Chain A
Amino acid sequence: MAKQTVVPFGPQHPVLPEPIHLDLVLEDETVVEAVPSIGYVHRGLEKLVEKKDFNEMVYVAERICGICSFMHGMGYCEAVEHIMHVDVPARAKYLRTLWCEMSRLHSHLLWLGLLADAFGFESLFMQSWRMREKILDMFEASTGGRVIFSVNRIGGVLKDIPPEMLRDFLKRFDDMGADLRRLTRTFLDDYSVNERLRDVGFLTKEQALSLGAVGPMLRASGVCYDVRKTGYAAYGDLEVEPVVSTIGDSYARCQVRIGELFQSLDLIRQVGEKMPTGPIAVPVKGNPEGEFFMRCEQPRGEAVYYVRANGTKNLDRMRVRTPTFANIPAMLQTLKGSQLADVPLLILTIDPCISCTER
Chain B
Amino acid sequence: MNTTRLLCCLGYILLAPFIGGLLDGIDRKLSARMQGRTGPSILQPFYDIIKLFHKQIFLVNHSQFFLVGSYLVFVIFSGALMFAGYDLLMSFFALTTAAMFLVLASCSTHSPFSAMASQRELLQMMSYEPMVLLACVGFYLATGSFQVSDIIQSNLSPIVFLPGFFIGFVYILTIKMRKSPFDISTAHHAHQEMVRGVTTEMVGSLYAITQIAEWYENVMLLGIVALFFINGNPISWPLAILGVLFVYFLETLIDNTTARLKWSKVLSSAWLVTLLFGGLNLLVLDLMIKYR
Q: List A residues at the B interface (Cβ < 8 Å).
A: 5-9, 13-15, 26, 29, 116-124, 126-127, 130, 190, 192-193, 195-196, 339-341, 343-344
Binary interface encoding of chain B residues 253-292 relative to chain A, with 1 for a CB under 8 A from any of its CBs, else 0: 0001111111101000000000000000000000000000
- On chain B, the number of residues with a Cβ less than 8 Å from chain A's Cβ atoms is 29
Please report whether the interface of chain B is mostly helix, strand, loop or mixed according to DSSP.
loop
Binary interface encoding of chain B residues 1-29 relative to chain A, with 1 for a CB under 8 A from any of its CBs, else 0: 00000000000000000000000000000
Q: Which residue of A lies closest to B190 (CB)?
A: A14
Partner of B180, one of A13, A14, A120, A127: A120
Please measure, in the bound complex, the distance between the C-alpha atom of A26 and the C-alpha atom of B193, giving whole angstroms: 13
Q: Which residue of A lies closest to B112 (CB)?
A: A7
B203 to chain A, nearest CB (A): 15
Residues of chain B from 99 to 151 with CB closer than 8 A to chain A in the complex: 112-113, 115-116
Please measure, in the bound complex, the distance between the C-alpha atom of A75 and the C-alpha atom of B242, giving whole angstroms: 61
- Whether A116 pairs with B263 at a CB distance below 8 angstroms is no
- Whether A344 pairs with B193 at a CB distance below 8 angstroms is yes
Could you give 5 example pairs across A and B, Cβ below 8 Å?
A7-B116, A15-B193, A29-B263, A124-B259, A192-B258
- Whether B181 pairs with A192 at a CB distance below 8 angstroms is yes
Question: Which stretch in B30-38, B80-88, B158-166 binds the other chain?
Answer: B30-38
Contact partners of A126 in chain B: CB under 8 A: 35-37
Contact partners of B31 in chain A: CB under 8 A: 122-123
- Whether B261 pairs with A123 at a CB distance below 8 angstroms is no
Please measure, in the bound complex, the distance between the C-alpha atom of A121 and the C-alpha atom of B190, giving whole angstroms: 12
Partner of B192, one of A6, A15, A29: A15
B178 to chain A, nearest CB (A): 11
Please measure, in the bound complex, the distance between the C-alpha atom of A118 and the C-alpha atom of B6, giving whole angstroms: 47
- Whether A5 pairs with B112 at a CB distance below 8 angstroms is yes
- Whether B195 pairs with A14 at a CB distance below 8 angstroms is yes
- Whether B191 pairs with A123 at a CB distance below 8 angstroms is no
B62 touches A (CB below 8 Å): no
Partner of A127, one of B35, B261, B262: B35
Please measure, in the bound complex, the distance between the C-alpha atom of A120 and the C-alpha atom of B260, giving whole angstroms: 5
Contact partners of A340 in chain B: CB under 8 A: 116, 193
- Whether A120 pairs with B183 at a CB distance below 8 angstroms is yes
B68 to chain A, nearest CB (A): 22
Please measure, in the bound complex, the distance between the C-alpha atom of A340 and the C-alpha atom of B117, giving whole angstroms: 11
- Whether B116 pairs with A15 at a CB distance below 8 angstroms is no
Q: Which residue of B lies closest to A194 (CB)?
A: B259
- Whether B37 pairs with A120 at a CB distance below 8 angstroms is no
Contact partners of B265 in chain A: CB under 8 A: 195
- Whether B190 pairs with A192 at a CB distance below 8 angstroms is no
- Whether A13 pairs with B195 at a CB distance below 8 angstroms is yes
Partner of B112, one of A8, A195, A343: A8
B189 to chain A, nearest CB (A): 6
Please measure, in the bound complex, the distance between the C-alpha atom of A312 and the C-alpha atom of B181, giving whole angstroms: 61
B224 touches A (CB below 8 Å): no
B187 touches A (CB below 8 Å): yes
A22 to chain B, nearest CB (A): 11
Contact partners of B262 in chain A: CB under 8 A: 195-196, 339, 341
B32 to chain A, nearest CB (A): 9
A124 to chain B, nearest CB (A): 8
Other 11 A-B pairs with CB < 8 A, given A190-B258, A196-B262, A341-B193: A15-B191, A120-B181, A120-B183, A120-B260, A122-B35, A123-B256, A124-B259, A192-B181, A192-B260, A196-B259, A196-B260
Please measure, in the bound complex, the distance between the C-alpha atom of A127 and the C-alpha atom of B37, giving whole angstroms: 10
Please measure, in the bound complex, the distance between the C-alpha atom of A8 and the C-alpha atom of B263, giving whole angstroms: 21
A317 to chain B, nearest CB (A): 40
B186 to chain A, nearest CB (A): 12
- Whether B191 pairs with A14 at a CB distance below 8 angstroms is yes
- Whether A123 pairs with B259 at a CB distance below 8 angstroms is no
Please measure, in the bound complex, the distance between the C-alpha atom of A344 and the C-alpha atom of B189, giving whole angstroms: 15
Please measure, in the bound complex, the distance between the C-alpha atom of A138 and the C-alpha atom of B217, giving whole angstroms: 48
- Whether A343 pairs with B259 at a CB distance below 8 angstroms is no
Q: Which residue of B lies closest to A9 (CB)?
A: B193
Contact partners of B113 in chain A: CB under 8 A: 7
Top 3 nearest A-B pairs (CB, nearest first) are: A120-B260, A121-B259, A192-B259
Partner of B191, one of A9, A118, A195, A196: A118
Contact partners of A190 in chain B: CB under 8 A: 258-259
Q: Which residue of B lies closest to A347 (CB)?
A: B193
Please measure, in the bound complex, the distance between the C-alpha atom of A230 and the C-alpha atom of B192, giving whole angstroms: 40
Please measure, in the bound complex, the distance between the C-alpha atom of A84 and the C-alpha atom of B115, giving whole angstroms: 60
